[in-house]
Amino acid sequence: MKSQPSGPGPESVSRDPVAAGAGTEPPPRPLRALTAPVRGRLTVAVGLQAVAALAGVVPFIAVSEIADRLTATAPADGDDLWPPVVLACAAGLVALVCGTAAGALAHVADNDLQLALRRRLARHIGRLPLGRLTERGTGEVKQAVQDDVSALHTLFAHTLLDVVAVLTAPALALAYLFTVDWRLALVGVVPLALGVFLFGRAMAGAATQMAEFGAALGRISAAAVEFATGIAVFKSFGRGRKAHERFVAATEGFADFFSRWVRTTLVSSTAAVLVVAPAVVLLLLSVAGAVFVTQGWTTGAALVPFLLLGPAVAAPMGVVGPRIQQIRAGQAAAVRVTELLHAPTLPEPAHPAVPDGHHVRLRGVSFSYDGRTDVLSDVDLDLAPGTVTALVGPSGSGKSTLASLLPRFHDVTAGTVALGGVDLRDIPATELYRRVGFVLQDVRLLRASVADNIRLGRPEATDEEVERCARAARIHDRVMALPEGYATELGTAVTLSGGEAQRLSIARALLADAPVLVLDEATAYADPHSEALIQDALSALAAGRTLLVVAHRLSTVRSADRIVVLEDGRVTEQGRHDELIAARGRYATLWDAQSSADDVREGSAR
Ligand code: ADP
C-alpha cells in the first residue's frame, strides 16, 4: 500500500516555503485586488449612475427654461414650450432607466463577488492548519465569511452608486446655476463651503477618537466576557457584586469618553448639518434672490432654477458622514478578508506518499507557536502499533501541543513526525485523516442528528454500525432516552452534558476506525458514574489501536504501555508505571502529589 520505497529522512527533504503553501504577502490595496474580477461591471454601473444623476437634473433645468420663456418680454407661444417639455420627459426617462440599470448591474456584480469571495474563503479555510482554527475559534471565520462580505456588499451595491449620484448631480446643477447668474450662484456655494469647513472641524482628530472609541468598546466586550464566564465563580464565593464591577467600570469609562467626544464636536457637527439643510439654503437663496430682483440685478424668472436646484448643491454634505463610515467599514473588511485569504495554508505534499504501517516516530521535534520561544524542544518518541502511550507532566509543559502534531494541527518547526515511515507533511490530508483520529476535550457536535454526528468520519456507515459503536462508547442508552433516539437533532431541543458529548465523540472515533488515535483526556467529569462510563468507552477505543493519550489524571495511565513525562517541552522520563515509580524521579513525585490529593478528595466526600 506504499507508493514510495521508504519515507524520506529529515535531512533529505527540501522544503520550499512558497511551493509548500506558505502565506503570500497580501496586496497593498486589498479593496482593489478583491474587486478585480467585477471591476468592468462596476465601472459600467458607475457610468450609468452618473448619467442617471445628470439626467435627473435636466428636468429642473427644463422647468427653469420654461419659466424663463413664459416671463420673457415677448412671451413664448405653446410651440416654443414643447422642446423643454420633451427634453424634461426624455431626461426623466433616461434617469429612470439608467438608474435602475446601474442598481441592477451593481447588485449582479456584487452578488458574483460575494459568491466568489465566500467560495475562495471556504476553500482557503479548508486548507488552513487545524491548529489555527481552534486557536482563533470560529469568530474570525464568521466575521470574514458573513459580516465582512456583507460590509463589502453595502459598499459596492449601495454606497458606491450613492456617492456617484451625490457628487455628479450637484456638480451639473452648480455649473448650470453659474451660467444663469454667477453672483447668485456664488451665494448658493456659501452653505457648501461653510458645511465643508464646519464638518472638517467636527472631524478633526477623528482618527484618534475612533481608535479610542474602538478600544473602549473592546474593553466593554472583554469585561462582559469576563463577567459572563466568571459570574459563577464570584457568586459561589459570595462576591456577586465584585463580578460586575469591572464591567460597570468599563461601561462608565465608555460613557465618559463618548460624552466628552460628543461635547467637543456637538456645536460644529450640528452647525455643519444645519447650514446645508435644504430649508436653510432655500431661505438664504430666497432672501438673496429677493434683494437681487428688487435691486434689478436679475430677473424673477432667473430665481426659479436657484430655488429648484440650490438646495441640491449643498446636499452631499448632509450624507457625507454615513458614507465615509461605510467606506471605512468596507476598507477594513477588505483588509480582514484579504489577510485571511493570505494566511499560510497547510503545505501540500511535495512528494505525496502513503504510509507503510502505523508506527509513529518523532525525531528531534521542536515547535514554537510564535517563532521565538520553543514550546517543544528536541523530542524523540516512538509509538509502536497497538500500544498506549500516556503523556504526563505539569500544566503548560507542552502535552497538548505535542499531541496536536500527530493530526497535523501544526507543522513542526524542526525535526520530523513520521507515520509508517513517511513524514506527515508528505501524506495527503485524506490519507492522513483516515489513519489518525482524535478525540479532544473540547468536543464539537454539529447541529445534526445524533446518527449523523457519529457518522461524520464514515458517512456511508449503516445504522447497525452506528449503534454498535454507540454501545461500545457507552452512549447508546442515553441516545435511546432522547425524544427521537438516533434521529434527535442536537444543539436545538437537546443538549448533551460534557461527559455525554465526549462519549459521543468516542463513538464517532470508533466508527471512523482510524488505527492511530490522539486523545486529550477530559480534565473534569461530571460525576463518578460518567467517569466510569468514559473509561469503559476509552478501553473500547484503545483495543488494537496506537493510542497517544494526554493524561491529566495519573490514575488513568497506570496501565499504559509507556508513560512519557514532559517538562518544559522536553521528555525527561519514560517507561512503565512501576519502573518510573521505582526510579523515584519526577513521575514518582507527580504520582505521590496526585494520590494524596485524591485521598483528600475521597476523604472529604465521605
Ligand atoms: P499542556 O497540555 O501540557 O498543559 P500546552 O501544550 O497546552 O501544555 O501548552 C504548552 C505551552 O504552549 C504553554 O506555555 C501554552 O501557554 C502555550 N500554548 C498553548 N497553545 C498555544 C497557542 N495556541 N498559541 C500560543 N501558545 C500556546
Q: Which atom of ligand 1 is nearest to the CA of 135?
A: 23
The answer on pLDDT for 495 being more than 80 is no
Residue 81 identity: L
Give 6's pLDDT tier (boundaries 50, 70, 90): very low
Q: Which of 64-68, 212-216, 341-345, 422-426 has the lowest mean pLDDT?
A: 212-216
- The three three-digit cell numbers of residue 22, written as one number: 506558505
Whole-number pLDDT of residue 522:
62
Q: What is the mean pLDDT of residues 585-604?
A: 70
* Percent over 70 (pLDDT), the chain: 88
Q: Report the C-alpha dihedral over residues 334, 339, 340, 344, rounded to 10 degrees.
A: 160
For the chain, give the percent of residues with pLDDT over 90: 25
Give the number of the atom of ligand 1 that is nearest the alpha carbon of residue 520: 2
What number is the average pLDDT over the span 223-248?
72
pLDDT digits (tens, 9 = 90+) for 146-166: 888 888 998 988 899 989 988
Using one digit for the tens of pLDDT, what is the confidence trace for 520-548?
876 555 566 666 777 777 777 777 788 89
> Is the CATH code 3.40.50.300 the one for domain 360-605?
yes
In the reported structure, the alpha carbon of residue 137 is separated from the centroid of ligand 1 by a whole-number distance in angstroms of 15
User: 107-121, 139-153, 355-369, 516-530: which range is least confident on average?
Assistant: 516-530
pLDDT value at position 3? 38
Pairing of strands 562-567, 546-550: unpaired
Q: If you measure from the C-alpha of residue 275 to the centroid of ligand 1, how many angstroms do you get, rounded to a whole number?
A: 59
Residue having the nearest C-alpha atom to atom 1 of ligand 1 = 396
Q: Which ligand 1 atom sits closest to the C-alpha of 404? A: 6
* Per-residue pLDDT at 402 exceeds 90: yes
CA angle 371, 425, 117 (to 5 degrees): 80
Residue 454 pLDDT greater than 70, yes or no: yes
Q: What is the pLDDT of residue 364?
A: 94
pLDDT band at 600 (very low <50, low <70, confident <90, very high): low
* pLDDT at residue 555, as a whole number: 64
Q: How is domain 20-341 classified at the architecture level of CATH?
A: Up-down Bundle (1.20)
pLDDT tens-digit readout, 209-224: 777 887 787 788 777 7
For ligand 1, atom 25, the nearest C-alpha belongs to 369
Pairing of strands 562-567, 360-367: unpaired
pTM: 0.68
At 97, is the pLDDT very low, low, confident or very high (cuts 50, 70, 90)?
Answer: very high
What integer best gives the mean pLDDT of the chain? 82
Q: Is 3 exposed, middle or buried (0-12, 13-18, 19+ CB in 10 A)?
A: exposed
User: Ligand 1 centroid vs 503 CA: distance in angstroms?
Assistant: 25
More confident residue, 74 or 386: 386
**Ligand 1: distance of its center to the CA of 343 in Å?**
21
Ligand 1 atom with minimal separation from the 402 CA:
6
Dist. CA 598 → ligand 1 center (Å): 26
588 to 110, 188, 568, 600, 601: CA distances (angstroms): 64, 89, 18, 18, 20
Q: Looking at residue 601, what is its pLDDT? A: 53
From CA 190, how far away is CA 39, in angstroms rounded? 37
Domain boundaries, the chain: 20-341, 360-605
- State the DSSP H helix or E strand holding residue 424, giving kind and residue range, or none if neither: none
